[in-house]
Structure 1
């Protein structure tokens, strides 16, 4: 103890000396403008002390484990017996628990210490997160024994590590691994949670290993099977990450170009990295950088609207509608969607037809101000794409396909091309549920399915297997996302890794708004009390709500700002 106090006093003296060296006068100098990434905060690790009790030994081990992600877990292993330290795999799984004190239960007769842990999330050995529902408890058991020196040590434990949520957020970093869509044009990210210490190495290793099974058939990667790092360390010097690949990692010229882009886009998104230098067997992977990958399409700032029984546009300033001669909406029209090129809209009629119209194809010049509109002449022409009982709201993907599904007793989802080609995509895992929403991601490689199983809302993301021409061929097995979700009435993609679900409200209560990270955590925000639909361009700051009384609101700081009135529905592309 005296030694630690002396060390702390010395550190304080050095800190004070450093403060006295800060200049207080002289000319102002211009800096470089470059800020290096901050080093991660590493929890303090202390080995076992002589005479530690059983509980002190186990709690000391848990604390030392948190520091192990910045080292080799050597201090944590000091708490284990020799056989246990040789067998324990701390990276097999990380259990993240709600921050707070853990109370152990020591069974002296059985030589076991048991913790009941309130779980927030789990991570597997590749950094894939599974979020836990509120109230989830996990039982962790440690067997203890005295060594030859009569000191308590842990003799038996499950593989994996236990981290408090506050500690987890300091030592782990969310990393987007970049893959490509089936046509090789668009970035498709997969979120992983990786230790901040040596995060570039972790990210490169997982990227080279490839996408998770649930996404693998919907994306392409430039790393052939068997690819690996030649040196299991990515060294960052002056902002440049040096990645050395093994010889089997070099594929065709097209694969090498894609692999370089994947590494560059993945690693330069990390703190302190601005470029990459990729070599294979000591030779540059590519002679010249290519830029064939683009980010997901962002909807234009113009949205389609339903207003007073007419189809129209909101251009961010004015509400416009189709001329009187185009006609009114068919009776029973709802659930508006807009194509990414702005030439078509889709909507539902009487809940049993999905129709499309190109009445907005000409844009604003062909429309009139809503206040100048007269009496619509008849009913506008539409083309029926899908017929069926109780259909889900339509959505567009970036290839122009319209997606829907039967809400009750579904066995799959339906996608329809502009030319009328229909693809019925099997999804028997939906049997027995009620589908609420089917929304393709903007990159086209995934689709969000929100369903209800009994009283439970289930949000899932599945891969979309496509031909190179963009034709959807099948959808995969679901990845459940989100936790603690209530009844949802609308859902959208906010960006390439985030979906938003709008809940219901009663009375003056604000409707819940859940933001769900695909592969991450769920946060709950508040919409407005009477919100009935939601749309967005890019990012949660662009979310737009339509209320039951026709008021349109968009994000403004921590609240919502009114931007239009009299609107029945509003939809940006998607």
Structure 2
């Protein structure tokens, strides 16, 4: 009879290690929101696991179960797991950095042993795979129904069974990944070398002293293969990390190699990438950059080349000021809220002469706005200045979603046959179709471009569920393409609205296990989903979000609601379709 293996059932001991290391939740499970929590568990302590050793007389399946549980212990280069291997494998086993993540609820199914090679045995194991961590640290959510299957071969060493052919990858449960890894970002420049773009990777935290060095070295290796076509790096090829040291508040990074020939501007850009990448570590308050042992003096640094954590905010990937207004539709016109007071938006979309509008989108600098006609068959654009006229650059199609990027381009999603066409209107002007071959058979319901301009999020229906996907925006030779769409794992069913909350999170309206529509925060690194309380007043129809701003929702009672703590909602205005710039 097949059996299941759980770490808790094998006498595993967990030891709390108080340090700046963190555990992180992984997988797509929905977690309840907490006021003020923010979902950031980066500063929680690392919990060390001490699994049991093999015992005399253990059966073949017990040895395999013990090995699987011991894989979650990283101390001594997997010393605990090696105890279950034959002597030659104990010395030579070198698992790759790839990790296959299985579902805690399913655990491993361990089949009864079968004979192999005369006196040997083999044991088959399987589990429901939820994700994998690639060698470059990227967390990829698995397709529903993916299985993890491995075959173990064993032989006797003296009187005891030991594994003679172990897997060459790590197999960890969600809880194991929670404990031993945390999601952090590497930062690279967008195509214009102005705004930084986060590249999320899973970083092992079981080796505390190496995290800063691990991040710096990963940054110099370049972006993950998925993001690479959409971003650039300031580090010239041939640059190496000579050393990373930490004091109480300062991290010092020494570079060597071709960086010695870099210009002052390039050194400034390198400093920005390093600062944004390393300041995720809680102890980091200052950065000192050395090249061949000599301090680099960039704008803002002191005489010793020390840069402050607050430097390089000009490259903030969120690209939105705290003064951004809230916009919404009321009586078919565009309104905005200022200091809690509702006002007509200046220009054609806020005037009755423009006719009724729906689904507005506002440029990041609030200089222009766009909207759909109520029937979705036209796209309207106007300056947000008194007396401006309305243009209709697109008409006759079925347009479903609008979004502005940081380059003042208006993105439009149009239903076309069974799929979707994307249009790009530079400055809101003449439309140009954006190649998006992966969307030819995908009926997009919602589209929102990240404020960094390098990524976009979509929602479409896939079978009986809605699917959220992230794509990259590639700029090359004056042309733009949307490509590389991958799914974000979640346990949400119907998703009706989404918006980028910041560079790391989406806010979405969806149905969880209880069937009610409510907001959720979905992390774009694929690791988790957090629930937010529902607004009062009936069914929530739309959601809006922005960095450092309250969540907004349009509700079927004809009101716009907002929440700053994700628990208590307050009525903002009469209206619908709320949006922030972007």
Same fold flag (TM > 0.5): yes
Alpha-carbon displacement from aligned partner over 1:153-191 (angstroms, at most 9, x marks no partner):
111233211223223212111111111122222121111
User: Closer, same or farther in 2 for the Cα pair 1:505/1:453, shift >3 Å?
Assistant: closer
With 416-425 and 339-348 compared, the bigger mean Cα shift is at 416-425
Alpha-carbon displacement from aligned partner over 1:7-65 (angstroms, at most 9, x marks no partner):
xxxx9xxxxxxxxxxxxxxxxxxxxxxxx977622211444344333233222222332
How far did 1:301 drift? 4.1
Alpha-carbon displacement from aligned partner over 1:300-343 (angstroms, at most 9, x marks no partner):
44222211223221224122225899742655621111111112
- The number of equivalent residue pairs is 515
**Does 2:50 correspond to 1:41?**
no
- Paired residues of 1:549 and 1:566 also in contact (CA < 8 A): no
- Paired residues of 1:214 and 1:476 also in contact (CA < 8 A): no
Alpha-carbon displacement from aligned partner over 1:44-102 (angstroms, at most 9, x marks no partner):
1444344333233222222332121x542233223222454424414222424326764
How far did 1:426 drift? 0.6
Q: 2:503 aligns with which of 496, 500, 516?
A: 496
Give the gaps of 5 or more residues in structure 1: 1-10, 12-35, 367-379
- Paired residues of 1:552 and 1:563 also in contact (CA < 8 A): yes
TM-score normalised by the chain length of structure 1? 0.81
- Paired residues of 1:353 and 1:384 also in contact (CA < 8 A): yes
Residue 181 of structure 2 aligns with which residue?
172
Distance in 2 separating the partners of 1:301 and 1:323: 15
> Which runs of structure 2 are paired with 1:194-205 in the superposition (5 Å)?
194-196=203-205, 197=207, 198-205=210-217
Structure with greater strand share of residues: 2
- Paired residues of 1:390 and 1:406 also in contact (CA < 8 A): yes
Residue 134 of structure 2 aligns with which residue?
124
- Paired residues of 2:347 and 2:385 also in contact (CA < 8 A): no
**Does 2:110 correspond to 1:139?**
no
How far did 1:427 drift? 0.9
User: Closer, same or farther in 2 for the Cα pair 1:546/1:90, shift >3 Å?
Assistant: same
Give the gaps of 5 or more residues in structure 2: 1-14, 16-41, 299-304
- Paired residues of 1:184 and 1:220 also in contact (CA < 8 A): yes
- Paired residues of 1:222 and 1:251 also in contact (CA < 8 A): no
- Aligned-partner SS, 1:449: strand
User: Closer, same or farther in 2 for the Cα pair 1:399/1:165, shift >3 Å?
Assistant: same
**Does 2:60 correspond to 1:54?**
yes
**Does 2:384 correspond to 1:384?**
no
Distance in 2 separating the partners of 1:307 and 1:132: 42
- Paired residues of 2:183 and 2:200 also in contact (CA < 8 A): yes
Q: Pick 1 or 2: higher relative contact order, CA cutoff 8 A, min separation 6.
A: 2
- Aligned-partner SS, 1:72: helix
**Does 2:461 correspond to 1:427?**
no
Residue 182 of structure 1 aligns with which residue?
191
Residue 357 of structure 1 aligns with which residue?
382
User: Closer, same or farther in 2 for the Cα pair 1:306/1:430, shift >3 Å?
Assistant: same
- Aligned-partner SS, 2:399: coil
Residue 78 of structure 1 aligns with which residue?
83
Residue 301 of structure 2 aligns with which residue?
none
Residue 227 of structure 2 aligns with which residue?
215
Q: 2:327 aligns with which of 299, 304, 320?
A: 304
How far did 1:441 drift? 0.4
User: Closer, same or farther in 2 for the Cα pair 1:106/1:278, shift >3 Å?
Assistant: farther
- Paired residues of 1:88 and 1:157 also in contact (CA < 8 A): no
- Aligned-partner SS, 1:168: helix
Distance in 1 separating the partners of 2:193 and 2:98: 33
Distance in 2 separating the partners of 1:144 and 1:273: 47
User: Closer, same or farther in 2 for the Cα pair 1:322/1:496, shift >3 Å?
Assistant: closer
Aligned-residue CA RMSD (Å): 3.2
- Paired residues of 2:98 and 2:132 also in contact (CA < 8 A): no
Distance in 1 separating the partners of 2:484 and 2:565: 38
Alpha-carbon displacement from aligned partner over 1:185-216 (angstroms, at most 9, x marks no partner):
21211111111122222212211111112211
**Does 2:484 correspond to 1:477?**
yes
Distance in 2 separating the partners of 1:440 and 1:323: 25
> Which runs of structure 2 are paired with 1:52-451 in the superposition (5 Å)?
52-68=58-74, 70-85=75-90, 86-98=92-104, 102-110=108-116, 111-132=121-142, 136-147=146-157, 149-196=158-205, 197=207, 198-230=210-242, 234-250=244-260, 252-253=262-263, 254-284=265-295, 288=305, 291=312, 293-298=315-320, 300-321=323-344, 327-328=351-352, 330-331=354-355, 333-349=357-373, 350-358=375-383, 360-361=384-385, 381-409=389-417, 410=419, 412-418=421-427, 420-451=429-460
Distance in 1 separating the partners of 2:107 and 2:435: 47
With 490-499 and 75-84 compared, the bigger mean Cα shift is at 75-84
- Paired residues of 1:337 and 1:345 also in contact (CA < 8 A): yes
Distance in 2 separating the partners of 1:495 and 1:270: 19
With 163-172 and 490-499 compared, the bigger mean Cα shift is at 163-172
How far did 1:494 drift? 0.7
How far did 1:412 drift? 4.1
TM-score normalised by the chain length of structure 2? 0.80
How far did 1:279 drift? 3.1
With 166-175 and 41-50 compared, the bigger mean Cα shift is at 41-50
- Aligned-partner SS, 2:213: helix
Alpha-carbon displacement from aligned partner over 1:464-523 (angstroms, at most 9, x marks no partner):
23379xx762233223323334232221101001112223699x9631434221222241
- Paired residues of 1:99 and 1:166 also in contact (CA < 8 A): no
User: Closer, same or farther in 2 for the Cα pair 1:385/1:318, shift >3 Å?
Assistant: same
With 129-138 and 268-277 compared, the bigger mean Cα shift is at 129-138
